[in-house]
Structure 1
Amino acid sequence: MIDLACIASGKTSRSDIESVLEMSVEPYLQRLEGEFDIIQRIQPVLSTPKSRQVKYRIQDAFLSFWFRFIYRYRSAVEIGNLEFLQQVIQRDFATYSGEWLERLFQEQLAATGQYSVIGNYWGPRNKNEIDIVALNELDKTALVAEVKRNPKNIRLSKLKEKAVKLEQKLKGYDIEYRGLSLDDLSVE
């Protein structure tokens, strides 16, 4: 259970989780992914299958929320201090929900049928994280997007700086940079 609390709190690499727990967690992660289908192993777009750049995420939104807020602050829940829990949720929800907003946009992009690969990108040591990279390998086009709840926080110039290494890997692709926010959600 503690692995899930770590993942829900943003400790998504095996080394991050192991540093918190001070123990090897590989067998636990394998079971949570393979047997129970609770977590998902993700790698950056364009990485090799054997790449060591791996992160984990909880697949279910309810479980993720529960481990991030309820399980983590169970002492406050147990003593009935729900005001404290409400304050924590209000403080952290914008950051927490960002990942789920990214996933929602990835699902919407997948539903268009325009892309052969959709995912995240990050460099070594989790540097230069890019929220969405969507590739059409037939047309040689790529969408590189930053996702923010508030459109005022989108900085395409910063996104382009982070994408320098990715651009090198996408030689020959026509790359479109886009900012996506809550304003861009299509509800069907």
Structure 2
Amino acid sequence: MNFKTASQGAVKARIGMKSIDYFTRRPTLEAEPGNREVITREGRFRLADDGEQGRRELERRLEQSNGDHLYRVVMSSGNAGMTAQETERWARSVLERNNIDNYMLVVHAGQQGHTEHPHAHVLIPTSERFTVEDIGQLRAVGDEEQQQVTYAARAISINQDYEGETNLPGKAGGRQAERETENDGPQKKRTVDIQFGS
């Protein structure tokens, strides 16, 4: 995490858009030009497709944002197996659980990754100054969110393994609601219910 200070709206927009350009255009792992989305709470922008209209909207938001700090944050859960969608969900949840609602987030994962470590770049315009305690809280929430993702992945994997046993040839659709064993007759199929708190 680092930050730049700019009190004038136009200067803030210029500095912020320089970071956004870097986040979105950095070449992928296959050395293809980046064409990544900028994700905000209010919507998504793909500057290569949205043209000047999308760029002007992001500039306007930066100009009108409160405060004179522009934080640039790199967020990574440490889980190399996360998809782009999982990385986005994880990063957004960590930010919003820490009451950071004004952000511009760009995911570097999946086909739009440039390393083997999925991560997100985030631009946060704010009047607040992040303390060591604030950064520690972001990390703690990030670890907690990652544990939930890991738990969900394990539960889904267990459920899929179990369903794999019931995919018997000759059954309609390759699935059956019950499975019979030699010793104990029909058994109901188990399901896993996963719920996350907000």
Instruction: State the structure with bigger RCO (CA 8 A, min sep 6), 1 or 2.
Output: 2
Bin the TM-score by the shorter chain. Answer: under 0.3
User: As a proportion of its length, which structure holds more helix?
Assistant: 1
Larger radius of gyration: 2
**TM superposition score normalised by structure 2:** 0.26
